[in-house]
Amino acid sequence: MGNDSSLPSAGAYKPLTEEAIARICEAVGEDACVNDSDELRELGHDASEFNGLPLLVVEAVSAHQVQALLRLANALHFPVTPRGSGTGLTGGAVPLFGGVVLSLARMNRILSIDRENLITVVQPGVINMDLKKAVQREGLFYPPDPASLDTCSVGGNAATNAAGPSCIKYGTTCDYVLGLEAVLPSGELIRTGCRTRKGVVGYDLTHLLVGSEGTLGVITELVLRLIPHPPAVTTLVGLFPRLSAAMGAVASVLGQGHIPCAMEFMDRHCLELVGDCLPFEGVQESGAFLLVEIDGVPDVIQREIEAIGEICLECEAVNVLLAPDSHKRSQMWDVRKEVSLRVERHFPLYIPEDIVVPIGRIAEFVEGLPEMEQRYGMKIYSFGHAGDGNIHLNITAEDRRMLDRVEEGITEILKRVLAMGGTISGEHGIGMAKRRYLPLELSPESIRIQREIKKVFDPHLILNPGKIF
């Protein structure tokens, strides 16, 4: 992207003075201010490798406090980095230029669950799983399911347009956000969208804010769409000799009109690493693992899962397990997290990537990785969402000094992704981690328009500076 004088650089913000800190604390209330050095350090990073150090953390409990803080930031030109639960993987919540971290974690109330109109109104700090459980008690379902759903917040999910395995059937967070209340960098509060499924009044500011990674406004309330909770769910797992065989099964399942609520795969490297955790025979010798979940009416999904089992066998599956008990099922879901943990433990250099290729090219893409591994001295553990083409590449090397070479390799991989008609981030976002790769996917005209939109919302570039662009 080169330099652009209109975007902030390291020296763009003066350090926050004692006087400014005093004014902030007066504006938002002492109770909301945290300046204990341990906590500042703790809230200076997310789940990525990036770190920053805020001079102050404001833990808001109301939109008024958010407004007061941003009004001051806009007047005094200090950076504010909004933060949900800090589970992001791209440094989106890291205060790159110090300043203030604005935590929304204490705004964690579910304000209403409206069964008749199938909506819920929530504050941004509500934990995804807490919302899922609360609406399930009303017979309702909130589908978005990022891997961190036990700890991530719905506000952070909206800010990053997070998604997970269920995307193939249910879509991503943006498909469930009907409307927002947000504070703009000016301190003005706006409401976007509506509380109904349809609404076409003016430009779609809701979807512009969703996925903007906290750079355009701070979400202080969300109106979310709910659906009836599916009555039942069932699972199948299969082992295949090669990834291409597993992907053949995926194509057949979709081609025959089934719409599973998850189709997850792991490659050979992952199976070597964590095969011992899977309650299966012959795992470590297999070339690919596939997990398919289907939800709906019990007798229908029973028929469907059996049909899917047949498809897997026709596609050379060497072992198929239908409808495992819930203990085995949760073991199989947990095993994916184990990949990341073991990879992190084994390798001094570990970079998680999050790309998407068209479903029909997953096998071709993953089977092309060994050549890249060899050329750039990496080892790549691939797993992901076969049903939507979203692959998590766990890129590793034996030595941190290989970083430059590995980054060259990543650039090559991302170019290959784009050449296949894919995208360089499926659900983690850009944050700090992928800024450098943005021009691979977006044209200069697109980036220019987006930067100008940023300036419309945030003329003084005080909100989450240094992210995306």
Please give the distance of CA 257 from its chain centroid, rounded to a whole number.
28
Q: Please give the size of the binding site for a copy of itself, defined by CB under 8 A.
A: 87
Does position 272 interact with a copy of itself (CB under 8 A)? The reply is: no
Q: Which helix (H) or strand (E) holds 446?
A: helix 444-457
Does position 368 interact with a copy of itself (CB under 8 A)? The reply is: no
Identify which of residues 141 and 279 has a Cβ nearer to a copy of itself in the complex: 141
Does position 465 interact with a copy of itself (CB under 8 A)? The reply is: no
- For residue 73, the one-letter residue type is A
Restricted to residues 278-297, the positions that interact with a copy of itself (CB under 8 A) are 297
Restricted to residues 10-69, the positions that interact with a copy of itself (CB under 8 A) are none
Does position 160 interact with a copy of itself (CB under 8 A)? The reply is: yes
Ordered alpha helix ranges (H), 381-467: 403-419, 438-441, 444-457
> What minimum distance in Å lies between the beta carbon of 392 and a copy of itself?
12
79/39 Cα distance (integer angstroms): 18
Q: Which range in 29-37, 353-361, 370-378, 397-405 contacts a copy of itself by CB under 8 A?
A: 353-361
Does position 366 interact with a copy of itself (CB under 8 A)? The reply is: no
Binding mask 197-236 for a copy of itself (x = CB under 8 A): xxxxxxxxx-xx-xxx---x----------xxx-x-----
Does position 298 interact with a copy of itself (CB under 8 A)? The reply is: no
Residue 379: strand pairing partners:
396
Give the phi and the psi of residue 118 in degrees, each rounded to 5.
55, 45
3-class DSSP assignment, residue 402: helix
Of the residues 31, 150, 188, 285, which one makes contact with a copy of itself according to CB under 8 A? 188
Q: Which range in 103-111, 254-262, 274-282, 343-351 contacts a copy of itself by CB under 8 A?
A: 254-262
Asked whether the beta carbons of 55 and 35 are under 8 A apart, the reply is yes
Please give the distance of CA 327 from its chain centroid, rounded to a whole number.
26
- Name every residue whose Cβ is closer than 8 Å to that of residue 43 and which is 6 or more positions away in sequence: 34, 54, 57, 83, 86, 101, 103
> What minimum distance in Å lies between the beta carbon of 226 and a copy of itself?
11
Does position 261 interact with a copy of itself (CB under 8 A)? The reply is: no
Burial group, residue 401, by CB count within 10 angstroms (0-12, 13-18, 19+) = exposed
> What minimum distance in Å lies between the beta carbon of 52 and a copy of itself?
22
Does position 436 interact with a copy of itself (CB under 8 A)? The reply is: no
135: its two tokens = 């609406």
